[in-house]
Amino acid sequence: MPVLTHLDHLEAESIHILREVVAETANPVMLYSIGKDSAVMLHLAMKAFHPAKPPFPLLHVDTTWKFREMIAFRDRTAEALGLKLIVHVNREGLARGIGPFTHGSALHTDVMKTEALKQALDAHGFDAAFGGARRDEEKSRAKERVVSVRAPGHRWDPRRQRPELWRLYNTRRSPGETLRVFPLSNWTELDVWLYIHREGIPVVPLYFAAERPVVERGGTLIMADDDRLPLAPGERPHLRRVRFRTLGCWPLTGAVESDADSVPAVIEEMLRATTSERQGRLIDHDGAASMEAKKREGYF
Amino acid sequence: MSGTAELESELRARERMTLLRFITCGSVDDGKSTLIGRLLHDTGALKDDQLATLAAESARIGTQGGALDFALLVDGLAAEREQGITIDVAHRYFATATRGFIVADTPGHEQYTRNMATGASTADLAVLLVDARKGLLTQTRRHAFIVATLGVRRLVLAVNKMDLVGWDRAVFEAIEAEFRAFAGRLGVTDVTAIPLSALTGANLARPAAESPWYDGPTLLHRLETVAVVEEEDADRPLRLPVQWINRPGPDFRGIAGTIAAGRLRPGDRLRVLPSGHESRVARIVTRDGDLGEAVAGQAVTLTLADAIDVARGDLIVAPDRPAAVADQFEATVIWMGEAPLLPGRSYLMKIGTATVGAVVDRLKHRVDMDTLEPLAARRLDLNGIGLCVLHLDRAIAFDAYEENRTTGGFILIDRADNATVAAGMLRFALRRAGNIHWQAFTVDKAARAAQKRQRPAVLWFTGLSGAGKSTIANRVEALLHARGHHTYALDGDNLRHGLNRDLGFTDADRVENIRRVAEVARLMVDAGLIVLVSLISPFRADRRLARERLGEGEFLEIHVDASLDVAESRDPKGLYRKARQGLIRNFTGIDSPYEPPEAPELRIDAGARTVEETAAAVLRLLEERGVVAPE
């Protein structure tokens, strides 16, 4: 008799969540952020609905500051799997010239990511959006529900969230309410990598160590992904052997020096790591409750 | 780890890890947060940057005099951290080389019932913390009661702060003995008591040198080795709630769902409930090729050998050990809504993948959370636990919760704001029919009526033409419909356009007219409906015939009593005028007699009262006779 491993359990739980929400909502969408968590979530969706295609499109909110390798990987993936991909850019924010170097990480994230996401969800009338967030990522997420109800305007009210018992998810919505759904809630960073290894899931090469041009800013290694990186007089990028533990906008994502150039090597490095993965994310450092504040505003 | 082969073997071992979900119960005072923080730290799940953040926050808002305050790790929301309270379930994760752990951490005080029930619903095991200095508290018993109610069968009693009682063996053994006796009364026999100190880590991840008299496992060892519940589920009869029908094209029809119990192999016979249709498993389809077997816990897609009707909400079961089907239950309910549970209100019930209407018909008792004894109750407030009788608007397949959490556990949803207001556990079905296999076409009048939450009946409005029978019947029907009842109106005039088109107004035709209407009404009563008949029906004998076609108490004769003068002065259809002119023959009241009922269930003085008043009088009659429930 097959004994289910912890990865089998996590996989089954995520598939159950994906199917349940598809069965009970009219117009779901999957937020595809191109990173490793999105890669796993998409892989699970391919399994959940096989031999049918996942009955929802992918949505990528493009801040126009993503690593070029991410965009190439995104387009390759959607094409290879034969899925509909919606790419949304906050045109109004773009016209205002909003960017992380000129306006700071907080405003950039708010306009090009949070606002853009709300625009896209509203424009298409999506009633449920799958996201790849995990509870172990950050403290304010430890109490997030699998199915998170958002009030009109996408506001998150921690006191109005519903208790979730057994495998029973209450997906009912009042007019104007939408759902954010997190099928990977119970996965850890280690689980994600072990699963990528087990299943042979392709991920963006930026996760693996290579010589890349970086500058050091306040102790953080920033990769010069294109010529928009403003350089101080005399400053110039140096080639260093680095990789990324998380992926986002390149000016806001710190690289780590590493020799891990394969999935097993990445896992080995993680097992020995002494810092958590969000260490490299600059937007989390505004205060311990900063992620919670962003969530209330409608950030994922 | 060094070398690729060694690394690969390490990774393969990690991929074979099993999973344990457990819940921790206790308050900050018992050292629960410290215990969890310790477990995370000692298993490497707590990283340096998180420790640094914790140290900074402990200094700023900690309650441990600047020392690491592990509670801050667990209390995730800003509001909670600043108020020093935990208002919700937090999930924590750690892993050893052989097992991954999901910890549902629940607060011991505010909202403890709701949160603890939520955390316990998916837990294989519960860790109950006791402060060795204080021994068993009312709170400990409550926590044990809640987790046992939610079906957690394995408990670890963590007797904490043993360092503060000098690792006194007698203290530990007295607490253990008292708890074992209490747990036995709850029906829980798998209890492991462990003396430990969360602060020093003694008997958490490492055996304590301080307790040479203790030869049991450390907490982590117990968590790593305890059997997980799913291993048992595979040996139980098959239960597969149908979640989604996978139809990518005309050639494939897959049934997707998560196996709740048992196992599946191609060729296995299975039955779909509540329909009772049977077929065989053709294939178990995955993206990586077909499976030869699937077991409890797996999310599968299967195809059947026969094209039988299967839909979301159905339950697939083993034909030799099927689930029961019923629509009335006794159930334990944990109330989670801000507004109290009131018997008689209608909620949505989600069980497995089915959503049905449910009314809490009766609250049998609530549990006093101090004494854990039952008390009489008329309502259940937030965090209350009670025993109630549930009526559903259609039959569902189910198992008792203690047999199967998935097919016996449910939530109630408020119809107005869609909040989850209760968690419940089915105990047993109240209708005998629920204990036998549900045969197709054994649905009877009582079943149809119960589904409609009403007693079927015929309201027979009799009286002169123009007395107002149809007007009153229309109003009554509208009111019943608004209350959610299932009705149908049979109007004498309208029937003469169809069913009775071939009949005139001779005495013989009048009798046949009434016989046909009575027969149609009888069929509709059999269908469970409340039927409103508006028919002059002037002869007592014919009305008696109609009454006799129906069961005891199902025929309610309502005499809409208007004098000939009143009726003739209204003359809404101009019939009296025509009758007086001799254009219509055998017209009741003019040249044909009307025999008023001698003992009608209700007499309405049509000249003296408004339509609203008379309709209200009819509804009162229906409530008195038990046709509909009082509002």
Predicted confidence (pLDDT) per residue in B570-600, tens digit:
888 888 888 888 888 788 888 888 999 988 9
Among the listed residues B414, B389, B381, B374, the one whose alpha carbon sits nearest the alpha carbon of residue B114: B381
CA dist., res. B20 & res. B125, Å (int): 8
Among the listed residues A157, A107, A118, A135, the one whose alpha carbon sits nearest the alpha carbon of residue A278: A135
Q: Which residues of A touch B50 (CB under 8 A)?
A: 276
B27 in a labelled binding site: yes
Do A275 and B297 lie within an 8 Å CB cutoff? Answer: no
Across all residues in chain B, what is the average pLDDT?
Answer: 87
- Which residues in chain B (9-28) have CB-CB distances under 8 A to chain A? 10-11, 14-19
SS (H, E, C) B215-243: CCCCHHHHHHHCCCCHHHHCCCCCEEECC
E strand or H helix at B481, and its extent? helix B469-482
Question: B18 to chain A nearest CA, in Å?
Answer: 4
Do A19 and B1 lie within an 8 Å CB cutoff? Answer: no
Question: B464 to chain A nearest CA, in Å?
Answer: 50
Where would I find the beta strands (DSSP E) of B47-89?
none
Q: Residue A285's pLDDT is what?
A: 46
Which whole number is the average pLDDT over B128-146?
92
Residue from the list A2, A7, A186 with its beta carbon closest to the beta carbon of B293: A2
Q: Residue B631's pLDDT is what?
A: 74
Question: A96 to chain B nearest CA, in Å?
Answer: 33
Backbone phi, psi, residue B305, to 5°: -75, -25
Residue from the list A8, A20, A170 with its beta carbon closest to the beta carbon of B411: A170
B33 in a labelled binding site: yes
Would you place residue B114 in the very low, low, confident or very high pLDDT band (cuts 50, 70, 90)?
Answer: confident
Q: Which residues of B touch A142 (CB under 8 A)?
A: 74, 76, 90-92
Q: Which residues of A touch B81 (CB under 8 A)?
A: 288-289
Q: List the single range of A222-226, B265-269, B372-376, B448-452 with lowest mean pLDDT.
A: B448-452
Q: Residue B84's pLDDT is what?
A: 46
Which residue in this structure is represented by tokens 């204080």? B134
Which whole number is the average pLDDT over B57-65?
72
Q: Does B7 touch chain A (CB under 8 A)?
A: yes
Q: Which residues of A touch B417 (CB under 8 A)?
A: 174
Which whole number is the average pLDDT over B514-533?
91
**pLDDT at residue B108 greater than cutoff 80:** no
Which whole number is the average pLDDT over B74-103?
72
Q: Which domains does chain B have, with CATH numbers?
A: 2-230 (3.40.50.300), 234-317 (2.40.30.10), 324-435 (2.40.30.10), 445-624 (3.40.50.300)
Do A194 and B11 lie within an 8 Å CB cutoff? Answer: yes
Question: A94 to chain B nearest CA, in Å?
Answer: 33
Residue from the list A165, A194, A273 with its beta carbon closest to the beta carbon of B47: A273
B18-25 and B99-105 as β-strands: parallel, antiparallel, unpaired?
parallel
Query: How many Cβ atoms are within 10 Å of B543's Cβ, its own excluded?
Result: 22
Among the listed residues A117, A115, A111, the one whose alpha carbon sits nearest the alpha carbon of residue A130: A117
Do A165 and B298 lie within an 8 Å CB cutoff? Answer: no
Residue from the list B76, B88, B417 with its beta carbon closest to the beta carbon of A174: B417
Would you place residue B422 in the very low, low, confident or very high pLDDT band (cuts 50, 70, 90)?
Answer: very high
Contact between residue B9 and residue A197 where contact means Cβ atoms under 8 Å apart = no
> What three-state secondary structure class fits B361?
strand
- Which residues in chain A (203-262) have CB-CB distances under 8 A to chain B? none
Q: Does A125 touch chain B (CB under 8 A)?
A: no
What sections of B527-574 are H helices per DSSP?
540-549, 564-570
Among the listed residues B465, B521, B515, B532, the one whose alpha carbon sits nearest the alpha carbon of residue B493: B465
Would you place residue B434 in the very low, low, confident or very high pLDDT band (cuts 50, 70, 90)?
Answer: very low
Q: Residue B110's pLDDT is what?
A: 55
Higher pLDDT, B105 or B266: B266
Would you place residue B74 in the very low, low, confident or very high pLDDT band (cuts 50, 70, 90)?
Answer: low
Q: How far is CA B338 from the centre of its chain?
A: 18
Q: List the single range of B246-260, B440-454, B456-470, B518-532 with lowest mean pLDDT.
A: B440-454
Q: Does A141 touch chain B (CB under 8 A)?
A: yes
Peptide bond into B274 cis (omega under 30): yes
> ipTM of the assembly?
0.90
Nearest CA in chain B to A196: B15
Mutate to test the interface with A, among B287, B315, B405 (most CBs of A within 10 A): B287
Residue from the list B19, B78, B87 with its beta carbon closest to the beta carbon of A9: B19
Quick: pLDDT tens for B143-190.
999 999 999 999 999 999 999 999 999 999 999 999 999 999 998 989
Q: How far is CA A118 from the centre of its chain?
A: 16
Q: Which residues of A touch B413 (CB under 8 A)?
A: 170, 172
- Which residues in chain B (364-393) have CB-CB distances under 8 A to chain A? none
CA dist., res. A149 & res. B419, Å (int): 10
Would you place residue B1 in the very low, low, confident or very high pLDDT band (cuts 50, 70, 90)?
Answer: very low
SS (H, E, C) B268-321: CEEEEECCCCEEEEEEEECCCCCCCCEECCCEEEEEECCCCCCCCCCEEECCCC
Residue from the list B53, B254, B299 with its beta carbon closest to the beta carbon of A288: B53
Percent of chain B with pLDDT over 70: 92
Percent of chain B with pLDDT over 90: 49
Q: From first to last of its 300 residues, what are the pLDDT tens digits of chain A?
A: 567 899 999 999 999 999 999 999 999 999 999 999 999 999 999 999 999 999 999 999 999 999 999 999 999 999 999 999 999 999 999 999 888 888 888 888 889 999 999 999 999 999 999 999 999 887 777 788 999 999 888 888 877 889 999 999 999 998 889 999 999 999 999 999 999 999 999 999 999 999 999 998 888 899 988 888 888 888 889 999 999 999 988 888 899 999 999 999 999 988 887 766 655 555 444 444 455 565 566 555
- Which residues in chain B (243-262) have CB-CB distances under 8 A to chain A? 243-244, 246-248, 252, 254, 256-258
Q: Which residues of A touch B351 (CB under 8 A)?
A: 168
Nearest CA in chain A to B102: A186
Would you place residue B71 in the very low, low, confident or very high pLDDT band (cuts 50, 70, 90)?
Answer: low
Peptide bond into A51 cis (omega under 30): yes
Residues of B annotated as catalytic are 537
Q: Residue B322's pLDDT is what?
A: 92
Q: Does A168 touch chain B (CB under 8 A)?
A: yes
The alpha carbon dihedral of A87, A92, A98, A100 has a sign of negative
> What three-state secondary structure class fits B429?
strand
Calculate ∠ Cα A196-A201-A205, nearest 5°: 95
Quick: pLDDT tens for B396-415.
999 999 999 999 999 999 98
Do B419 and A2 lie within an 8 Å CB cutoff? Answer: no
Q: Residue B542's pLDDT is what?
A: 84
CA dist., res. B427 & res. B431, Å (int): 13
Q: Residue A291's pLDDT is what?
A: 52
Do A197 and B118 lie within an 8 Å CB cutoff? Answer: no
Among the listed residues B357, B388, B520, the one whose alpha carbon sits nearest the alpha carbon of residue B450: B357
